[in-house]
Structure 1
Amino acid sequence: MRSVRAKTTIGATAVVAVALVAAGFAVLLVLRSFLTDQAELQAEVTAREVASRIAAEGDAGPITVPSTEDRPVQVVDEDGRTVAVSKDLEKISGTGSADVTPEPRRTGGDEADEPDPGDDSEEPDRGHVSGDPPRFSRGEATVDGETAGYIFAAVDVTIGEGRDVTVYAGAPLTVEQDAVESVREAMLAGLPVLLLVVGSVTWLVTRRALRPVEDIRTEMAAITASEDLSRRVPEPGTRDEVARLARTTNETLAALESSVERQRRFVADASHELRSPIASLRTQLEVGEAHPGLLDVPGAVADTVRLQQLAADLLLLARLDAGERPGRSRVDLAALAREELSQRGAADRVPVTVVAADGVEVLGSPGQLARVLGNLLDNAQRHAAGAVTVSVRREGADAVLAVGDDGSGVPEAERERVFERFVRLDEARGRDDGGAGLGLAIARDVARRHGGTLTVADSPAGGALFVLRLPVA
């Protein structure tokens, strides 16, 4: 099952089915409990009515049971003997005795000893009904040939001195059983229909909800097949997760398009930059082979060095683009600046002044940070008129390394463009040592890899001021 729509539909239907089954059981239990309570109440009412009649008659004669319609009644004495039953009661279980043949008896002797109604002698004893809660039990009874289940309520009655009986009155469970059975059958009949409706609605809603996803997938497949990264997936007008997915996908496509375009320009520019020194070097070697006296050895060495530097720059950019993480060594920027200047020595065209505060340390790669400083110094000396300044200081949580010159500066409109790869301003293109236009691009990439920034502004001396900001270690 690979379809999200099918999985969602089956899952939702299963959840609804479980919920309906659980709710159905709960409803049946509540209904059964309610109807049982009603039957117990009816049985108790009947038992107390009969008990009250027996208590009112007292111990003057045989116990009789009034008519109770379809509710069976049995009266049992303290010895477990049946002394009275309701009319048409043929069989009973679940009470104090299974005997339905009453054995009535008197308490005052022979009939001749019964008091005359006109006699003013002593009245017969009156009984009373026990105030204890009734006791309930379940059983069956056969009344007039029909057997059914009943709930019996037992109520104790005292009808004379030392004589107690228990009245058992039953209420039929037929209503409870019929009602529960009807509800159960209705639930079983309606459950498949309801689940079918839930499944159908879920299928349609999921289909509508996933339609934009299918459109996105179709467009992405077309983009993959055509390799046209300028295309974009459709964005639905909603504000849900699918719309955010479409926007994120388009942003990814835009970033990928930009990356591929940048890579294409990089390859084209690298090919162009490599072609010149290689062609020059080959020409000089061919001339030297044909005419050894005309071989320009210094020029060949210069072209080789330029080719070596360009190859090193391209290799570093490839490593940066591949996501290489910088080291985590502690680097003292003041010491780094002094060491870099000591290695450059007298080869610098313009003298460099260092104003550095000691103890300003950052975490990173010493080699890559030295490369950044070297590239900034190369750029400053290439454009400076007569002075280059390097300063190191701390500003809050940032370590700041600044390289300034007194040259013509960088026009404000070009201050972001100078950090692009293979970009050289017109003045730099006119110089033989103008470089390949990779130094500043490498410097900014390294700064970002170290969690910092590299920007350009106006120098107090009138030229350009490149400012490197890194988090303090």
Structure 2
Amino acid sequence: MKQSPSTFSLIFGLLALALLLALSLASMLTTRITVKAGSESYGRLVIAAALAADELSARHDQDAVQTLRQLDEAGLHFSTTPPPPATVRISPMLRDIGLKVSQMLGDPSRVAVTQTPEPQIWIRSAHDPARWMVLHALSYRRQVLASSILVMLLAGVIVLIIASAAARLLTQPLERLAAHAQGLLAGEPVVQTQLKGSPREVHQLAFAIGQAGERLRHAARERELMLAGISHDLRTPLARLRLALELGDANDHQRREAMVADLEELDGALEQCLAFVRDGSDEPRRDIDVITLIGQLLALRVQPDDWQLHGPAVFQAKVRPSLLRRALGNLMDNAERHGAAPFEVALDTGDTFWCVSVIDHGAGVSAEQLERLGRPFQRGDPARGQGGTGLGLSIVARAAQVHGGTLTWGNRAPRGFVASMRIPVVA
């Protein structure tokens, strides 16, 4: 399998390419400005030299002849032949000089530039149209090419050094994070000790990995606790069933009913465990009448006359119906199992939240036991009765969390216990 490039190589390549492009553009702009400035200055010098030579050629005194001889030695001479055609491409700077001289003279026909291969500027004399002044222009093509290559090489070295340092600065925190990812998942506090000086995004990623690790550890603890709870809760009814079968209790009507009760207890325990594992977050929300849902649950109670419903006649809410039904059913089961009649279901509505509470008038829960309620397989106070898997409040708490709400519980004065689900209103 082809190995993917590392983050360091990608960042290094991107930085190097960006810096090289920036330097290339800067070099092109600098060269263009230099050519413009050079053509401006050199064009003025060419005009001055040509005009001076043209005026001197009209004189025949000794000083004029001497000056023209010196100009000839400096590269300016007269020719009676027309300018030859260029045999190589004319350089941009020479072309700009010719245009500048033409503009200054006001007559483009008097100016010609050639490259054969030496660059020359031809200017027709104002006194004798058949005579041309020829100036040998300076050529910096080789020097410019050599200097450009040198500059690009130096710039490339600088770019590589800067890109390497920047890429290392950006990827080193990621490398440290990758090296300590297992520790983060295991819950080790490596963020404070090993990621100092790292960018904010790396700290956020480390925090997210730590949270993911915490969720994984929590799920593993719940799984272990559930397996332990299932093995504990199923052992007793299975032992009773085995003993009943060995004693032949299946022929006795009363004992057969006890065996059926044990089977129902097993089925209920497994159903609660499955409900705890399936949090119901995949169930779509639907608009339902919560009052109707509560009424259906109350009608299924063994003693429905022990229950009272307080709330509006109708209340529409967007919820996960099966999940809410299971949660309210668990609260009602807990009230009947651990509390005492009369029982109440109260629905309070608001603009942003609505709250449904299940209330009993039993003995309540001790302060020590209140702190442990809601944990998986944590049963209530023995004073409130026995039975159940200890998953009821855990399932309700998870249902409230899936709906974006919270579950609270506590004792009521002078007697009783109340559990309330507070759920936000969803548009």
| TMscore range, shorter length | 0.7 to 0.9
Task: Tell me, yes or no, if structure 1 residue 93 matches structure 2 residue 48.
Answer: no
Cα distance change, pair 340–470 in 1 and its aligned pair in 2 (3 A):
same
So what's the TM-score if we normalise by structure 1? 0.71
Query: CA offsets per residue over residues 288-325 of structure 1, 9 Å max, x none?
Result: 26x955972222121111111111111112221xx642
Q: Give the Cα separation in 2 of the matches to 1:386 and 1:426.
A: 17
Structure with higher Rg: it is 1
Aligned equivalent of 1:137, options 112, 119, 122: 112
Query: CA offsets per residue over residues 58-95 of structure 1, 9 Å max, x none?
Result: xxxxx99962343535xxxxxxxxxxx3xxx5876269
Equivalent position of 2:31 in the other structure: 28
Q: Give the Cα separation in 2 of the matches to 1:154 and 1:19.
A: 44
The within-5 A match list for 1:51-62 is none
Cα distance change, pair 131–43 in 1 and its aligned pair in 2 (3 A):
closer
Q: How many residues align?
A: 394
Equivalent position of 1:150 in the other structure: 120
Query: CA offsets per residue over residues 202-228 of structure 1, 9 Å max, x none?
Result: 33553454344334333446x69xxx9
Q: Which amino acid aligns with 1:297?
A: R
Aligned equivalent of 1:280, options 240, 260, 267: 240
Q: Which amino acid aligns with 1:267?
A: L
Query: CA offsets per residue over residues 19-52 of structure 1, 9 Å max, x none?
Result: 3333333333332332222221111112333456
Task: Tell me, yes or no, if structure 1 residue 305 matches structure 2 residue 309.
Answer: no
Which moves more between the two structures, 165-174 or 189-198?
165-174
Q: Give the Cα separation in 1 of the matches to 2:187 and 2:256.
A: 49
Contact 1:333–1:401 (Cα < 8 Å) also in 2? no
The answer for unaligned runs of 5 or more in structure 2 is: 86-102
1:395 deviation in Å? 1.6
1:355 deviation in Å? 1.4
Q: Give the Cα separation in 2 of the matches to 1:330 and 1:140.
A: 87
Equivalent position of 2:282 in the other structure: 325
Query: CA offsets per residue over residues 438-469 of structure 1, 9 Å max, x none?
Result: 11111121122222222124446642222222
Aligned equivalent of 1:427, options 382, 385, 393: 382
Equivalent position of 1:377 in the other structure: 332
Task: Tell me, yes or no, if structure 1 residue 336 matches structure 2 residue 293.
Answer: yes
1:437 deviation in Å? 0.8
The answer for unaligned runs of 5 or more in structure 1 is: 58-62, 74-84, 96-129, 142-146
Query: CA offsets per residue over residues 230-279 of structure 1, 9 Å max, x none?
Result: 44655311240333333332332233222212221222122212222222
1:431 deviation in Å? 3.0
Secondary structure at 1:344 match in 2: coil
Contact 1:232–1:253 (Cα < 8 Å) also in 2? no
1:326 deviation in Å? 2.5
Query: CA offsets per residue over residues 99-139 of structure 1, 9 Å max, x none?
Result: xxxxxxxxxxxxxxxxxxxxxxxxxxxxxxx9963544312
Query: CA offsets per residue over residues 171-212 of structure 1, 9 Å max, x none?
Result: 5421xx22x432331231343344234324533553454344
Percent identity reads 22
Contact 1:360–1:472 (Cα < 8 Å) also in 2? no
Q: Give the Cα separation in 1 of the matches to 2:381 and 2:243.
A: 27
Equivalent position of 2:97 in the other structure: none
Aligned equivalent of 1:39, options 17, 39, 42: 42
Cα distance change, pair 282–168 in 1 and its aligned pair in 2 (3 A):
farther
Q: Give the Cα separation in 2 of the matches to 1:383 and 1:318.
A: 24
Cα distance change, pair 202–406 in 1 and its aligned pair in 2 (3 A):
same
Cα distance change, pair 46–398 in 1 and its aligned pair in 2 (3 A):
same
Query: CA offsets per residue over residues 128-172 of structure 1, 9 Å max, x none?
Result: xx996354431269xxxxx842234568x5x7xxxx859855554
Q: Give the Cα separation in 2 of the matches to 1:248 and 1:366.
A: 32
Equivalent position of 2:416 in the other structure: 463
Equivalent position of 2:354 in the other structure: 399
Aligned equivalent of 1:202, options 163, 168, 171: 163
Which moves more between the two structures, 15-24 or 329-338?
15-24
Q: Give the Cα separation in 2 of the matches to 1:29 and 1:461.
A: 93
Equivalent position of 1:218 in the other structure: 179
Cα distance change, pair 131–36 in 1 and its aligned pair in 2 (3 A):
closer
Equivalent position of 1:106 in the other structure: none
Q: Which amino acid aligns with 2:205?
A: L
Q: Give the Cα separation in 2 of the matches to 1:51 and 1:334.
A: 111
1:423 deviation in Å? 0.7
Equivalent position of 2:345 in the other structure: 390
Q: Give the Cα separation in 2 of the matches to 1:410 and 1:426.
A: 6
Contact 1:40–1:152 (Cα < 8 Å) also in 2? no
Q: Give the Cα separation in 2 of the matches to 1:316 and 1:327.
A: 16
Q: Give the Cα separation in 2 of the matches to 1:375 and 1:286.
A: 35
Cα distance change, pair 345–363 in 1 and its aligned pair in 2 (3 A):
same
So what's the TM-score if we normalise by structure 2? 0.78
Equivalent position of 2:308 in the other structure: 353
Secondary structure at 1:417 match in 2: coil
Cα distance change, pair 66–6 in 1 and its aligned pair in 2 (3 A):
same
Q: Give the Cα separation in 1 of the matches to 2:104 and 2:253.
A: 137
Task: Tell me, yes or no, if structure 1 residue 173 matches structure 2 residue 171.
Answer: no
Contact 1:229–1:256 (Cα < 8 Å) also in 2? no
Contact 1:362–1:471 (Cα < 8 Å) also in 2? no
Query: CA offsets per residue over residues 380-427 of structure 1, 9 Å max, x none?
Result: 223434321111231222222111122233456654631221111332
Cα distance change, pair 318–212 in 1 and its aligned pair in 2 (3 A):
same
Q: Which amino acid aligns with 1:133?
A: G
Contact 1:452–1:468 (Cα < 8 Å) also in 2? yes
Q: Which amino acid aligns with 1:139?
A: T
Cα distance change, pair 242–330 in 1 and its aligned pair in 2 (3 A):
closer
Cα distance change, pair 410–395 in 1 and its aligned pair in 2 (3 A):
farther
Task: Tell me, yes or no, if structure 1 residue 49 matches structure 2 residue 52.
Answer: yes
Q: Which amino acid aligns with 1:150?
A: Q
Q: More helix by proportion, 1 or 2?
A: 2
Q: Which amino acid aligns with 1:361?
A: Q
Equivalent position of 1:242 in the other structure: 202
